[in-house]
Amino acid sequence: MPKIIIANWKLNPATLAEAEELAKASDVEGLVICPPYPFLKAAAGVVKKSQLGAQDLFWEDKGAYTGEVSGSQLKDLGVKFVIIGHSERRQNLGETDEMVAKKIAATLQDGLIPILCVGETRAQRDAGETKEVVARELKTGLSLIGNCLPASEAGKLKTPNQNKFGTGQVKNLVVAYEPIWAIGTGTPDTPENMLEMIQYIEGIMNELGIMGTVVIYGGSVTSKNAESFLRHNEIGGALVGGASLNGEEIKAIVKIAEKYN
Ligand code: 13P
């Protein structure tokens, strides 16, 4: 399976012209570009080799939901991937695991590929809670795509009506382990810890009966440190923030990934 590199532009750049320029400069096979919503159409018009992703979606398809964007609208623009449950949304907007679960179900329902973000804060890591946090984020986040949780816990979720998928049917799912303390700090996790986390995450996916998940790393990835992660077979790719705002830099990361395909 070829490695997947995802460019998460977050709330950048400032103008449409800059977005078009960055999309053009980044356009390479093996890359998924996730611009802010207002630039998606322009990016779709510019890129020839990269695929398109969105940074979020809402779980309903249409209706009275001011400010929201649906999976079907994104699909109509040519979007293939959707980042779900990024820690910046969890922290700044109070996005909960239950909301993440509804978004994952909606993403799959619309035939898009979810990139589920999980990861612990510095305080949680220091308290030895990393695995507990990641397990909860995965088990609740994926609870609406099958019978992942015991009925007693699943019953607490607000929209069990979206529970349309058996876990075995889910073939396309990306899990991004992004420790929050490593995001935008210039201090990435170590590849050794990432490998341990991948083993742990894969164990949970087995428990949930979800096969073929790709696990990728995110947090201060640059062209300087990318190889230390990507050279491992187990690490399926990278979710890149800051370094994706420079076309040369993101293309260099994709090139490193290709060496290990
Ligand atoms: P940085 O690469 O800027 O640390 O951001 C990582 C991230 O949050 C990608 O989603």
248 is catalytic: no
Of all protein residues, the one whose alpha carbon is nearest to atom 9 of ligand 1 is 241
pTM of the model as a whole: 0.93
Separation of CA 184 and ligand 1 centre (Å) = 6
pLDDT of 101-121, one tens digit each?
A: 999 999 988 889 999 999 999
Q: What does the alpha-carbon distance between residue 59 and residue 242 come to, in Å, rounded to a whole number?
A: 28
Mean pLDDT of the chain: 92
User: Which H/E stretch holds residue 82?
Assistant: strand 79-84
pLDDT of 131-182, one tens digit each?
A: 999 999 999 999 888 644 444 444 444 444 444 556 665 668 999 999 999 9
User: Which H/E stretch holds residue 93?
Assistant: helix 87-93
Separation of CA 240 and ligand 1 centre (Å) = 5
Catalytic residue among 20, 120, 137, 178: 178
What residues does ligand 1 touch, defined as CB less than 6 Å away?
8, 86, 178, 183-184, 218-221, 239-243
Residue 89: count other Cβ atoms within 10 Å of its Cβ. Answer: 18
Q: What does the alpha-carbon distance between residue 154 and residue 98 come to, in Å, rounded to a whole number?
A: 10
Of all protein residues, the one whose alpha carbon is nearest to atom 1 of ligand 1 is 241
Q: What does the alpha-carbon distance between residue 150 and residue 249 come to, in Å, rounded to a whole number?
A: 45
The residue among 159 and 125 whose pLDDT is bigger is: 125
Separation of CA 17 and ligand 1 centre (Å) = 23
Helix (H, G, I), strand (E, B) or coil at 27: coil
Supply the pLDDT for residue 109: 87
User: For the residues 194-223, what does the mean pLDDT come to?
Assistant: 94
- Domain 4-259: which CATH number of 3.40.50.720, 1.10.10.10, 3.30.300.340, 3.20.20.70: 3.20.20.70
Supply the pLDDT for residue 167: 63
Instruction: Determine if residue 10 is labeled as part of a ligand binding site.
Output: yes
Q: What does the alpha-carbon distance between residue 109 and residue 217 come to, in Å, rounded to a whole number?
A: 25
What are the boundaries of each domain within the chain? 4-259
Supply the pLDDT for residue 218: 98
> Going by C-beta distance under 8 Å and a sequence separation of 6 or more, which residues neighbour residue 192?
none
Q: What does the alpha-carbon distance between residue 17 and residue 19 come to, in Å, rounded to a whole number?
A: 5
